Structure formats: structure tokens, C-alpha cells
Copies of this chain bind each other. A is one copy, B any other.
Amino acid sequence: MKYKFADRMSHIPPSFVREILKVTESPEIISFAGGLPHPVSFPVEKIKKASHDVLSRYGKEVLQYSTTEGHLPLREYIAGRYASQGLRIDADEILITNGSQQCLDLVGKVFLDKNDRVLLEKPTYLAAIQSFSLYEPIFKSVPLEDDGPDMDYLEDILLQNKIKLYYAIPNFQNPTGISYSLEKRKKIAGLLSEGDTVLVEDNPYGDIRFRGTDIPPIKSFHEEGILFGSFSKIVSPGMRLGWIVAEEEIMEKLVIAKQASDLHSNYFTQRVVCQFLEDNDLKDHISTIKKSYYEQCQLMLSLMDEYFPEGVTYTRPEGGMFLWVTLPSGISSRELFDLALKDKVAFVPGEAFYTGGEVDNTFRLNFSNSNNEKIEEGIKRLARAIKKLMI
């Protein structure tokens, strides 16, 4: 049979990264390409105990169908964490999702008609491009500076009031590792209060700040914003638990979309994670993760300082899992990728993070999922490859 697929399927950018990740899976490659948390961040023994306890105490109940909104005590826990950060969120304003990736799909479903405009950061999280693409919007991109978006550009485009959604990752952005300054956050809130653009604020890495001081989300200054969260980087990504925060009018629509999409998120896992959170201090656990990522990031940066040739610049993240390298203009990161792979080291070329897919002189390095030995050897090899290409 000749299948006729939906038009939307032709809008998805080629999954170059998927191909890269396949190539770099091989154990002899030192890969800074993936976006995996370090396994040190997974509390295996505590999850084992929590699984045992919820099944022993609550039995069949935790294996039955449950509500679309998600387990109330888990939503209350999340609301409580926001409260401790000074953000007043009601448990009813929280919907549990299959990781924060699903938040993107649900927001796309609920808001996006074909040719609606979505403003992305330039560069941005590549799976957000894929996810929104299914709803066939027109993408616009605001360039990123070291402390957030280019405000002149942002002000211009928001004031035209033609942007339906503005998708932002203000903390330790994927792929660049940069964070929005407090000043820019407040200014963005001000700009948003004047138009009809809906802020979609993604925050998968916010808890992993290993330098500097926490900065409140834009939602603190702009109540109407939608905020995403995730347990992937602080408990387990394989358990696929994230959440959306949105006010009642939006939440009603999100719940309908969630119900139509998969009825509800995995209830057993919600109960296990909730039990884990009740029995343990998440702060202690996050401290371990921060310590590890800080050391890995600092090691990577110091090696880059030492070995990368002049003219190569990079971000110095205060948290998260990624940093972003810019080669001298005219040097292609795609060519560098091919060259580096011959020397068995890998990263993700920058083009994947742009909606245009333009060839480019930037690339992303992940520092969270490599030990010191691999970071040391990998950065040296990468430096050699860069030098070869720059001659």
C-alpha cells in the first residue's frame, strides 16, 4: 500500500542528532554528544525501598487507573517546593506529565494552529523544535546573549503582538548553558504583560545550579506564564515524570489534551517517586549531583582553557549539563565533527539547534555524563581536531 501520511510529518526537521547519537553509542567513542544525566544522580537503593513500600502499604491501588491530573500528594509536594522558592502555586495548577517533553506536545496541542508564530531562542532545545513542528507553526528566533535574549530584538517582536508562544529556557539553557539575568527576566515580564504572547518557560536544569545564586523564574513576575518542571535531572529520567504549571483556564484545556493523549501519566511511578520524596531530603540528593557536575564542568573548562587554540570561545555555565563552543567564523562544526569522530570523540554540531538548520561554527558539549578521565582525554583530542581544521 502507498501510505499517505499527514502533512505535519513533513515539517519535522531531520533527526540528525538521532543519527549522531547512534554513531556515538559505540563504547570506544568518548562522547560529549548526548544529554544524559550522570548515573550518580539516580538514587537506586532509595527508589528500591520506595517501590517496595508503596506496593506493601497500598497494594493494588498503585497499579490501578488514576486521575489525568496526577497524584495529588505529588502535586502538593511540587507546589511546596515552589512555595519554598517564594512562588505561590496551587496543586490544582499542576499537571503531571511524561517528562517535560510531553509538556511541549500538550502546549502545542492546546495553543497552536497552523502558521501561528512561535518565538524560540537562537539556538534552542532541538526536541522543542521537533515537538512544536508537529503543529506547523512559523518559527521566529531571538538571538541569545550571555545573560539572556537580545532585548531590542525581543521588544520589537513582542510589541508587534503576533507571537502566540515564546518558548524560553532561562536557567542553564540547552544547548548554550547560559542563564537569563534577573534584570532581563523582570523586563521580559513587563513586555509580556502588554500583549497576548503566552510565555512557555522550561526549567529542567534549574535545580542544578553549582555556582552563583538562584534567580526566580520569569513566572514570579508574570503570573500568566506557563512553567515546566521535571524530575529527570534530579531523580530519574527513565521514570518520565515532569509537570506543567498553568493557571486554571489553560489547565482545563491541558487536562483534556492530556486525557486524549494517554489518559494519565504512569501512576505506579508517581507513587514511587512521591514515596521517595516523602522519605528523603531531595536537597541532600541534589547537593551530590551539583558537586559532581561542578567538578566535571570546571575540569572541562580548565582543559579547554589550556588546550583549545586562540579564537575559540565558549560559555561558562553556572549549572546544568551543557556548554557551548564557538569556533572562529568560517570554521564549520560539521566538518569538525567528522574529523573528531575519526579520533573517536564526539559532540553535537550547532546546526541541530537552529530552526533553519544552517551550517554553523558552533557546537554543544555535555559535561554531566563523563568521568574525569574521559573529559581529559576527550578535550585533548578535540583540541587537536580543532587545530587541524584551523590551520
Interfacial residues, chain A to chain B (CB-CB below 8 A): 1-9, 12, 15, 18, 36-37, 39, 42, 44-45, 47-48, 51-52, 55-56, 59-66, 97-99, 101-102, 104-105, 109-113, 116, 127, 130-131, 133-135, 164, 196, 198, 224, 232, 236-240, 249-250, 253, 256-257, 259-269
Closest to A8 in B: B109
Given A134-B257, A263-B127: A111 and B236 interface contact (C-beta under 8 Å)? no
Chain B residues contacting A164 (CB-CB under 8 Å) are 4
Q: In the docked arrangement, what's the CA distance between A262 and B55, Å?
A: 26
Q: Are B63 and A261 in contact (CB under 8 A)?
A: no
Q: How far is the CA of A39 from the CA of B61 in the complex (A)?
A: 8
How many of these chains are in the complex? 2
Point out the residue from B55, B113, B263 that lies within 8 Å of A99, measured CB to CB.
Answer: B263
Majority SS of interface residues in chain A?
helix
Indicate if the CB atoms of B261 and A105 lie closer than 8 Å: yes
Q: Is B236 touching A262 in the complex (CB atoms < 8 A)?
A: no
Q: Is the CB of A238 within 8 A of B263?
A: no
A102→B106 CA distance, assembly (Å): 13
Q: Are B63 and A238 in contact (CB under 8 A)?
A: yes
Q: 5 closest A-B pairs (Cβ-Cβ)? A: A238-B267, A63-B236, A39-B60, A51-B51, A98-B262
* B55:A48 contact, CB within 8 angstroms: yes
Offer 7 A-B interface pairs, CB within 8 angstroms, sorted by A.
A4-B196, A8-B109, A44-B55, A44-B63, A47-B55, A98-B262, A239-B267
The answer, among B62, B64, B98, B109, for a CB contact under 8 Å with A6, is B109
Q: Among the listed B47, B238, B262, B263, which residue makes an inter-chain contact with A64, where contact means beta carbons less than 8 Å apart?
A: B238
Q: How far is the CA of A109 from the CA of B7 in the complex (A)?
A: 10
13 other contacts beyond A5-B253, A62-B238, A236-B268, with CB at 8 A cut-off?
A1-B196, A2-B196, A3-B198, A9-B110, A12-B256, A12-B260, A47-B63, A48-B51, A51-B52, A64-B237, A99-B263, A238-B266, A239-B268
Residues of B within 8 A of A224 (CB): 1
B36 touches A65 (CB 8 A): yes
Query: Given that A237-B63, A267-B239 are known contacts, is A99 also in contact with B262, CB under 8 Å in the complex?
Result: yes
Q: Chain B residues near A7 (CB, 8 Å)?
A: 113
A97 to B98, CA, bound (A): 11
Instruction: Kindly identify which residue among B60, B65, B133, B250 contacts A260, using a CB–CB cutoff of 8 Å.
Output: B133
Distance in angstroms from A54 CB to nearest chain B CB is: 9
Q: How far is the CA of A135 from the CA of B6 in the complex (A)?
A: 10
Bound Cα distance from A135 to B237, whole angstroms: 29
Q: How far is the CB of A160 from chain B (nearest CB, A)?
A: 16
Give Cα A116–Cα B9 distance, bound, in whole angstroms. Answer: 15
**Whole-angstrom CA separation of A111 from B98 in the bound complex:** 23
B residues within 8 A CB of A264? 240
Q: Which residues of B contact A66 (CB under 8 A)?
A: 238
A109 CA / B249 CA spacing, docked (Å): 25
